[in-house]
Amino acid sequence: MRALIQRVKQASVVVDGQTIGECATGLLILICAMQGDTTAEADQLVGKIAKLRIFKDDDGKMNKSILDINGSALVVSQFTLAADIWRGNRPGFSYAAAPADGEKLYEYFSQQIAAQGIATQRGKFGADMAVSLVNDGPVTIWLDTSEK
């Protein structure tokens, strides 16, 4: 699985003119299931993201996790993280999981983030979404379970 996480002051996702998910201080998590991914990869990302110390402590150092600051998360499916751009100029997405598998893993991942005690909202799988955010830092980190 691949994730792009952004430390945010706020983030929201709009579908058909309606805000369907938002978070305050915390993380915007863009997530993509790749071919062959299972719940094991989702669990690995959940564990890493929940404990990743990328929030400032009292001395201004990145030393606190989203759990430590009682932050919230907005989880958005993002199949374009699977883009293969090396065979021409139009991205290919053949490495992404099939839509049914991707949706199942997206839902599982979102539920597991919430199970960590993180207030979690999400986008809508497969929808055309408008995502807004105020990146804090900016801090943006790429995670890929195949690159451990």
**Which one from 79, 109, 112, 121 is the annotated catalytic residue?**
79
Answer whether 17's CB lies under 8 Å from 143's CB: no
Distance CA 63, CA 57 (A): 6
Verify whether residue 121 is a known catalytic residue: no
Answer whether 75's CB lies under 8 Å from 110's CB: yes
Tokens standing for residue 26: 């915390």
Verify whether residue 120 is a known catalytic residue: no
3-class secondary structure per residue, 112-127: HHHHCCCEEEECCCCC
The closest of 46, 144, 37 to 97, measured between CA atoms, is 37
Q: Helices 99-115 and 39-51: crossing angle, nearest 10°?
A: 40
**Which one from 6, 78, 121, 145 is the annotated catalytic residue?**
78
Distance CA 136, CA 105 (A): 27
**Which one from 19, 35, 38, 80 is the annotated catalytic residue?**
80
Distance CA 85, CA 87 (A): 6
Verify whether residue 35 is a known catalytic residue: no
Kindly list the catalytic residues. 78-80
